[in-house]
Structure 1
Amino acid sequence: MNIKIITDSAADLSKNVIEQYNIDVIPLQVFLNDQQFEDGVTIQPNELFQGMREGNVYKTSQPLLTRFKDVFEKYAKEKTSCIYIAFSSGLSGTYQSSVMIKNEVLEEYPDFDCEIFDTKCASVGLGLVVLKAAQLAADGKSKAEILEAIDFYAKHMEHVFTVDNLEYLYRGGRVSRTAAIIGGLLNIKPVLNVEDGKLVPIEKIRGRKRVFKRMIELMEERGNNLREQTIGICHGDDEEGAETLKIMIREKFGTDKFYVNIIGAVIGAHAGPGTLSVFFLNKEAK
């Protein structure tokens, strides 16, 4: 049975990967004043990051409900079995909306075979889960085998990241105005992760080099067999920083498999230019 893999643009997957595995991606929305865009469709990450540097303030929202309905109805009519691998319900209402639309489609197409999975993951953390599922689907694995892998990867996926400027986290309501100002003056870089699908700060570190070192330490503390993993790295229009992090990881753990991509517009609107993140599998299920 051919299993169709569906996700949303918060997975921050490259166009090459999307095309290679024929993944259906539902775009989340980005707003600039009264202008409405779709992530990866009518606004690209580089455009958003440049706008943020120029002072633009972007807001985001879950996908249009019609996007879900169009995709789900298409596969319902084709009688195609599908899995929608969703952005964390702790960070967006995307998952809840997909469930609602699936139930609507089931009223008209009661045989619609679609599993919806709340990964509690974001950005390339979600992307690596989707990529694994797409590879298994391409290899002809059963739906049960793919769902088992999704569950494992989602439960073991670590997200460790830092932002270059606390101002963007302040705009998103993640830190106070005072913390943003003081952080900027003292060159403080927060290190954060995702726990139970929500952003949680780990600590604050002064200086970019120390942040990189701490991220590597966290990988060593939490990671499982890092040499054999595909390590995800995502950046906020900072290819140089991503390459530096990649080199440090390779030197420390001997890793030679990486998935590196720019952060998409929806995640980027909250994290800002200069954000750097690393994703890997941990030792214990979350």
Structure 2
Amino acid sequence: MKKIILSVDSTCDINHELMETYNINSFPYTILLDEKVYKDNVDITPPEIFNTYFEKKILPKTSAINVAEYYRYFKPWIDDGHEVIHINLGSALTSSHNNCSIVANELKGIYPIDSQNLSTGSALLVLKAANMIKEGLSAQEISTRLNSHRGNIHMSFILDTLDFLYAGGRCSKLSSLGANLLKIKPVINVDNSSGAMDVGNKYRGSLSKTIPKYISDKLSSYDNINQDHIFIVHSGIDSKYIDLAKSVILEHMDFDKIHVAVASCTISCHCGPNTLGIAFETI
């Protein structure tokens, strides 16, 4: 059986520990900021993006991974006789999956997976793929199972501010000002049938009050949660809120692993600092 390489877009937000444990390869998105080109989480981090915005009111432009980049990335593995499972950011949000699929039609042995999700929602698919590789399943079978399972993944996050959504043209100035004045923290849900995003509950108050309500409401919404893994992902937030999120999660159920990840620049630049999300799966 051919060796299977597990690969992801950098937007999956897999932390270094998991990358090493499961031998996961990652390809970064391109970030254009203040007329300079960077590779996401390679030579630029979310705090640098936030600082530039606060100082110059400039947000970065993010670039989908193109066909030529994917081709150069995959070809050495295919030439060595390997197969590749590659998990993409949801196709509703980017052209990367389509570009990856174009390369897969030319270089046989590549299996692009549209996660229909983002950030650590996609990461849960990555962990599932890693376990199936370990079990010895074929790349084709893994691809089929991942495509069937992605609707079981639930990703959401709570925003501290709408300033970055407004700056990126994703909400009105009135909405941004109103939310900030009233201390409203909206929840953004990811539609796991497409990867599109929509606004969910809106909580009022400080992060210390709204984060527990958000997490409690999400975990109470399902009675068939897989307790193997849950992710907490953030765009840069005080550790006390991460500890708070962990404690609320454990009040609801005893997950085997609570993973903490920092959102990539591609994700963080749209939601701003102090964003916190959770991702889990149902059975």
Moved more, 44-53 or 261-270: 44-53
CA deviations over 1:48-72 (Å, ceiling 9, x no partner): 3444454442221212443201122
Q: Distance in 2 between matches of 1:52 and 1:244?
A: 28
Match of residue 87, structure 2, among 72, 78, 85: 85
| Counterpart position of 1:109 | none
| Counterpart position of 1:204 | 202
Instruction: Note if contact 2:228-2:257 (Cα within 8 Å) is conserved in structure 1.
Output: yes
Instruction: Note if contact 1:28-1:64 (Cα within 8 Å) is conserved in structure 2.
Output: no
Q: Distance in 2 between matches of 1:142 and 1:62?
A: 29
Q: Distance in 2 between matches of 1:214 and 1:14?
A: 23
Instruction: Note if contact 1:230-1:280 (Cα within 8 Å) is conserved in structure 2.
Output: yes
1:264 and 2:264 matched: yes
| Counterpart position of 1:19 | 20
Compute the RMSD of aligned alpha carbons: 1.9
| Counterpart position of 1:188 | 184
Deviation of the 1:223 alpha carbon: 5.3
Q: Distance in 1 between matches of 2:260 and 2:148?
A: 22
Extract unaligned runs of 5+ from structure 1.
107-111
Q: Partner amino acid for 1:37?
A: Y
Q: Partner amino acid for 1:28?
A: Y
Report percent identity of matched pairs.
29
Instruction: Note if contact 2:211-2:245 (Cα within 8 Å) is conserved in structure 1.
Output: no
| Counterpart position of 1:162 | 158
Query: What TM-score do the two structures reach when normalised by structure 1?
Result: 0.89
| Counterpart position of 1:251 | 251
Is the alpha carbon distance of 1:76 and 1:173 closer, same or farther for their aligned partners in structure 2, counting shifts above 3 Å? Answer: same
1:115 and 2:117 matched: no
Instruction: Note if contact 1:189-1:211 (Cα within 8 Å) is conserved in structure 2.
Output: no
Q: Distance in 1 between matches of 2:241 and 2:27?
A: 29
Instruction: Note if contact 1:48-1:269 (Cα within 8 Å) is conserved in structure 2.
Output: yes
Query: What TM-score do the two structures reach when normalised by structure 2?
Result: 0.90
Number of residue pairs aligned between Structure 1 and Structure 2? 276
CA deviations over 1:151-201 (Å, ceiling 9, x no partner): 244111101211111001112222111100111111111011011210111
Q: Distance in 2 between matches of 1:223 and 1:256?
A: 17
CA deviations over 1:183-224 (Å, ceiling 9, x no partner): 111111101101121011113221131343133212211352
CA deviations over 1:200-258 (Å, ceiling 9, x no partner): 111322113134313321221135235x2311110111133222111101012233421
Extract unaligned runs of 5+ from structure 2.
none
Q: Distance in 1 between matches of 2:9 and 2:92?
A: 15
Instruction: Note if contact 2:231-2:258 (Cα within 8 Å) is conserved in structure 1.
Output: yes
| Counterpart position of 1:74 | 76
User: Deviating runs (4+, > 6 A) in structure 1?
Assistant: none
CA deviations over 1:70-116 (Å, ceiling 9, x no partner): 1221122112111111110011111111122333x34xxxxx21111
Is the alpha carbon distance of 1:162 and 1:223 closer, same or farther for their aligned partners in structure 2, counting shifts above 3 Å? Answer: farther
